[in-house]
Structure 1
Amino acid sequence: MESTPPLSVSEPAAGKLHIAMFPWLAFGHIIPYLELAKLIAQKGHKVSFLSTPRNIDRLPKLPPNLAPFIDLVKLPIPKQIPNLPLNAEATTDLPYNKVKYLKIALDALQQPFTHFLQTQSPNWVLFDFAPYWVGPIAANLKIHTAFFSICIAAFLGFLGPPSVLMDGADYRSKPEDFTVRPRWVNFETNVAYRLFEITRVFDSVTGLDDGVSDLYRIGAAARGCDVVAVRSCYELESQWLDVLEEIYMKKVIPVGQLPTTAYDSGEEETSEEWLGIKEWLDKQGRGSVVYVAFGSEAKPSQLELTEIALGLELSELPFFWVLRKRRGSDDTELIELPGGFEERTRGRGVVCTSWAPQLRILSHDSVGGFLTHSGWSSVVEAIQLERALILLTYLSDQGLNARLLEEKKIGYSIPRDERDGSFTSHSVAESLRLVMVEKEGKIYREKVKEMKGVFGDKDIQDKYVDNFLNFLRSQPS
């Protein structure tokens, strides 16, 4: 990366941009936005990174050489949003059925966000799907905007054009309609929801739930911006990027896969938590361990938890499982491991119910595979470190992510019942062994190694960011 002299946070240097970034209040969105902010700051541009106070305080510490370029801006949520638990500022603080109230809280930030734009006058705003109202506000102030989606092009392309998402022009009216390729996709693909995947999110996606639907927000974000930026690359989904330009009728720019980079590695390397984890991993055979984690939002039901646990036991593979039993203080659906499970697997497996350094664990030589919910940040981390993927989807874009990975032979999904998504401990065990050790699963292990060059290459990532910044600079102020 090019070196740059120190800059004042208040004024970017001549020829440099001031870019404001406003992600949705979910760490699966916040962290990729922060990764892009770091890459932009490395080029000497100023970034104002906006979120709520508690989320800003929970961000990983920035590298000292980039901290002067990235201004962390706190926008407090108004007090007493109905049904929103106290101190809930990110999706990780809430059970899934209360996330809609966090979107209402986000919508209440329009006034302070407008005030920020009026006083700071950035050259560009990069905004997420949830604050769909950013485009018109910025346009009134003559500020350029980019809808920056951390979701892949296949997900956006499958959902469709703004007319479908906003104006009631969608011919898909029931869950079954989302299980096949949409009409505007003119190439053969298996990217579509499975019935249980779309059924789980149908009300919030289509607006049958109270509030503004996710589909409407995505359509309005795409319609109201000057350009669309996507966490994607031509090497993986060039056809889907073409679909987006056709249906959005505006320029669509991939910004690369934004692989997670280490923060504060010195402190983490010596922390008691990491040293304990490392000591256990050091005792395991190279490439033998299954890492199990389902992100900050997905949470298995009790039945699913039991089958996952028994499947890990049946597989006879060593495992490290990061298990979230609760999502915030309002989560009343407590889940527990099967009786005797931890005793029976002691020594062979670890269940961690607190925070764990995912990137550092995946980096360890003993880890060979990753049982994941298919959240794209986790996928990128696994592929950049050549870890084979076993997929178990839960929410949102995860089903479409999984279809793309299956289609490319990069990941293998645990077999499930199409209607209710149920699965058995035997299917868990068989899937893990297939991908991790058996001859028939070698394709998944090899494909991940092939894709490392796309997902983990810093030069490729740098070119995507340069291309994006060149476009931003080329627009008249």
Structure 2
Amino acid sequence: MAKTDKQLHIAMFPWLAMGHIYPNFELAKIFAQKGHSITLISTPRNIGRLPQVPSHLEHLIKLVSLPILPKHRENLPDNAESSNDITPNQIPYLKMAYDGLQESLSQLLKSSPPDWILYDFASEWLPPLARSLQVQCVFFGISPAWNICFFDTPKAQLGNAAAFRTKPEDYLRPPQWVPFHSNIGLKPYEVKKMFEGISDKETGNTVSFNFNKAVSDCDFFSFRSCNELESEWLNLLAEIYKKPVAPVGVIPPSCQVRVVDEEDNNTEWLKIKSWLDKQQPGSVVYIAFGSELELGQQDLTELALGLELSGLPFFWALKKQRDSSVDLPDGFQDRISDRGVVCKDWVPQLKILAHESIGVYFTHCGPGSVIEGLHFGRVLVMLPYLLDQALFARVLEEKKLGIEIPRNEEDGSFTRNSVAKSLRLALIDVEGSIYREKAKKMGLLFSDKDRHEEYINKFLERLQNNKAPSKN
């Protein structure tokens, strides 16, 4: 990647979740490749979880650890520093810990002021802090812009028009400030989850994210997204908030900066590859639900039996459950041993998705997972659990890029029959051909390295053209 003019010092302060930290890390390496100095800030354990910085970029990328002080660790498990380390009801305490980093972050920015800082949805206090230190800030969303357009009620920006969304049922459909046709919206069980909020049922403590304040105070917006995916939403966001929007592209695997790949000769990969090599091209369902999601027993059972009922070959990267009582149905692995693999260890996901035998990616719709699946032109079968994942599923289904598993709209349950039917539609049914065609076309766009490097260059040009005066 060619270097760009005017070397910048860019700081990054993502939310305490590896699904947020990893995209910032990948972006940091891309910026450093172009000659810019990067300071990526998180907590010690999260920094320790990051892969090795390529040796040729070590002089440009500084990974800074800000410890969580004991007074801000109330009710968090020992050593918990990320959403990976806790249960959903402990999110309020992780937010308190994140907010508790404000003082040490302030000292860091004073001692080594960056030109810009990229911040996340959870640090609504950061823009005023940055402004007081004459540091410009960018709201960087790892998910598409449609999340803000949907979830944030822009009262200050739209005045009385926003008052019409006051009831839970208003979230079942697009908000009235969306001027174009869209099927975006939540299901009744998701709306119930949203209004219940994230809370610790034992203590009653709840978490509060001031979304409007976080997004309203930035100098401009950026997203891990692109016009090919959501030009209408990016334009709407700019219109509502009267701020520039400069996406960085989707940061597909082809654009990411990696150390020497040692997986090619990895024993476990060679075993997986040997199995995949024996399957027909485009015939296999790959199933993975990220590093954090843990399925309950009912969902795990229905999913497994749906795979069995589908009759399709599959490779399932199944995360080990914290609850040891949650397990696959009795006899399941014996019955599917001739056409299915269940792997409970780490797997090289990108290599699997890139293999010609994979036809469908069965996913929870985490942003990184969606991008990886579409990068390789795979049809997505979607089973979202978080609210941003739900919106991803609605938009992708509307665009005929994926098929969402039908669920009971009151409690979110699903059946083995719906799993089997959705998988067969995506992979082999004639009616599913439109999904396969559109996924291949989107794959060509997502894997276009030059296209996405252009997004990076335009983003950096904006930073350079608005670079703050010297602080010396």
Q: Structures share a fold, TM > 0.5?
A: yes
1:95-131 CA-to-partner distances (Å, cap 9, x unmatched) read 2222222111111111111111011110000011112
Structure 1 runs (4+) greater than 4 angstroms displaced = 167-171, 205-209, 331-334
The change in CA–CA distance for 1:289 and 1:423 in structure 2 (over 3 A counts) is: same
Residue 127 (structure 1) aligned with residue 122 (structure 2):
no
Sequence identity (%): 49
> Which one is further off, 111-120 or 167-176?
167-176
Residue type of the alignment partner of 1:279:
S
Check whether the contact 1:162–1:222 (CA below 8 A) recurs between aligned residues: no
Residue 348 (structure 1) aligned with residue 334 (structure 2):
no
Check whether the contact 2:8–2:115 (CA below 8 A) recurs between aligned residues: yes
Check whether the contact 2:26–2:257 (CA below 8 A) recurs between aligned residues: no
Once residues 16 and 372 of structure 2 are traced to their aligned partners in structure 1, the CA distance between those partners, rounded to angstroms, is: 21
Specify which of 456, 463, 466 is matched with residue 472 of structure 1: 463
After the TM superposition, which residues 366-405 of structure 1 pair with which residues of structure 2 at under 5 Å, given as runs?
366-405=357-396
Secondary structure, aligned partner of 1:254: coil
After the TM superposition, which residues 329-348 of structure 1 pair with which residues of structure 2 at under 5 Å, given as runs?
332=323, 334-348=325-339
> 2:144 maps to which residue?
152
Secondary structure, aligned partner of 2:59: helix
Check whether the contact 2:2–2:34 (CA below 8 A) recurs between aligned residues: yes
After the TM superposition, which residues 298-317 of structure 1 pair with which residues of structure 2 at under 5 Å, given as runs?
298-317=293-312
After the TM superposition, which residues 279-318 of structure 1 pair with which residues of structure 2 at under 5 Å, given as runs?
279-318=274-313
1:64, distance to aligned residue in structure 2 (A):
2.7
> 1:268 maps to which residue?
263
> 1:186 maps to which residue?
179
The change in CA–CA distance for 1:82 and 1:404 in structure 2 (over 3 A counts) is: same
Secondary structure, aligned partner of 1:73: strand
1:332-357 CA-to-partner distances (Å, cap 9, x unmatched) read 58421111111111132121222222
Check whether the contact 1:75–1:113 (CA below 8 A) recurs between aligned residues: yes
1:300-355 CA-to-partner distances (Å, cap 9, x unmatched) read 221111000000011111111122243xxxx5584211111111111321212222
The change in CA–CA distance for 1:112 and 1:66 in structure 2 (over 3 A counts) is: same
Specify which of 104, 123, 140 is matched with residue 112 of structure 1: 104
Once residues 45 and 432 of structure 2 are traced to their aligned partners in structure 1, the CA distance between those partners, rounded to angstroms, is: 43
Once residues 325 and 244 of structure 2 are traced to their aligned partners in structure 1, the CA distance between those partners, rounded to angstroms, is: 46
Once residues 374 and 469 of structure 1 are traced to their aligned partners in structure 2, the CA distance between those partners, rounded to angstroms, is: 28
Once residues 200 and 327 of structure 2 are traced to their aligned partners in structure 1, the CA distance between those partners, rounded to angstroms, is: 33
Residue type of the alignment partner of 1:152:
P
Residue 85 (structure 1) aligned with residue 77 (structure 2):
yes
Secondary structure, aligned partner of 1:252: coil
Residue type of the alignment partner of 2:285:
V
> 2:355 maps to which residue?
364
1:214-239 CA-to-partner distances (Å, cap 9, x unmatched) read 3x1x2221122111112221122111
Secondary structure, aligned partner of 2:246: strand
Once residues 207 and 354 of structure 1 are traced to their aligned partners in structure 2, the CA distance between those partners, rounded to angstroms, is: 31
Check whether the contact 1:124–1:146 (CA below 8 A) recurs between aligned residues: yes
Residue type of the alignment partner of 1:256:
G
The change in CA–CA distance for 1:247 and 1:3 in structure 2 (over 3 A counts) is: closer
Once residues 265 and 382 of structure 1 are traced to their aligned partners in structure 2, the CA distance between those partners, rounded to angstroms, is: 23
Check whether the contact 1:262–1:359 (CA below 8 A) recurs between aligned residues: no
Check whether the contact 2:89–2:198 (CA below 8 A) recurs between aligned residues: no
The number of aligned residues is 462
1:53, distance to aligned residue in structure 2 (A):
1.1
The change in CA–CA distance for 1:464 and 1:3 in structure 2 (over 3 A counts) is: closer
1:414, distance to aligned residue in structure 2 (A):
1.2
Check whether the contact 2:171–2:186 (CA below 8 A) recurs between aligned residues: yes
1:164, distance to aligned residue in structure 2 (A):
6.8
1:174-208 CA-to-partner distances (Å, cap 9, x unmatched) read 43221111011111110111222232343337999
Check whether the contact 1:92–1:297 (CA below 8 A) recurs between aligned residues: yes
Specify which of 12, 18, 21 is matched with residue 12 of structure 2: 21
Check whether the contact 1:22–1:126 (CA below 8 A) recurs between aligned residues: yes
Check whether the contact 1:160–1:247 (CA below 8 A) recurs between aligned residues: no
- C-alpha RMSD over aligned residues: 2.4
The change in CA–CA distance for 1:207 and 1:94 in structure 2 (over 3 A counts) is: closer
1:43-93 CA-to-partner distances (Å, cap 9, x unmatched) read 111111111111111112233333332111111122361221112122122
Specify which of 225, 228, 239 is matched with residue 232 of structure 1: 225
Secondary structure, aligned partner of 1:76: coil
1:410, distance to aligned residue in structure 2 (A):
0.6
For structure 2, list consecutive stretches of 5 or more residues without a partner in the other structure: none
> 1:71 maps to which residue?
62
The change in CA–CA distance for 1:449 and 1:150 in structure 2 (over 3 A counts) is: same
> Which one is further off, 117-126 or 246-255?
246-255
> 2:135 maps to which residue?
143
> 1:2 maps to which residue?
2
Secondary structure, aligned partner of 1:188: coil
After the TM superposition, which residues 159-170 of structure 1 pair with which residues of structure 2 at under 5 Å, given as runs?
159-163=151-155
Once residues 170 and 205 of structure 2 are traced to their aligned partners in structure 1, the CA distance between those partners, rounded to angstroms, is: 22
Secondary structure, aligned partner of 1:257: coil
Secondary structure, aligned partner of 2:387: coil
Residue type of the alignment partner of 1:111:
E
Once residues 298 and 366 of structure 2 are traced to their aligned partners in structure 1, the CA distance between those partners, rounded to angstroms, is: 22
After the TM superposition, which residues 442-453 of structure 1 pair with which residues of structure 2 at under 5 Å, given as runs?
442-453=433-444
Residue type of the alignment partner of 1:197:
E
Once residues 95 and 277 of structure 2 are traced to their aligned partners in structure 1, the CA distance between those partners, rounded to angstroms, is: 43
Check whether the contact 1:269–1:275 (CA below 8 A) recurs between aligned residues: yes
After the TM superposition, which residues 399-438 of structure 1 pair with which residues of structure 2 at under 5 Å, given as runs?
399-438=390-429
Check whether the contact 1:325–1:335 (CA below 8 A) recurs between aligned residues: no
For structure 1, list consecutive stretches of 5 or more residues without a partner in the other structure: 5-13
> Which one is further off, 347-356 or 371-380?
347-356
> 1:196 maps to which residue?
189
Once residues 116 and 347 of structure 1 are traced to their aligned partners in structure 2, the CA distance between those partners, rounded to angstroms, is: 57
Check whether the contact 2:401–2:438 (CA below 8 A) recurs between aligned residues: yes
The change in CA–CA distance for 1:42 and 1:275 in structure 2 (over 3 A counts) is: same
Once residues 37 and 471 of structure 1 are traced to their aligned partners in structure 2, the CA distance between those partners, rounded to angstroms, is: 16
Once residues 191 and 104 of structure 2 are traced to their aligned partners in structure 1, the CA distance between those partners, rounded to angstroms, is: 35
Once residues 257 and 465 of structure 2 are traced to their aligned partners in structure 1, the CA distance between those partners, rounded to angstroms, is: 32
1:272-322 CA-to-partner distances (Å, cap 9, x unmatched) read 332332222222222211111111232222111100000001111111112
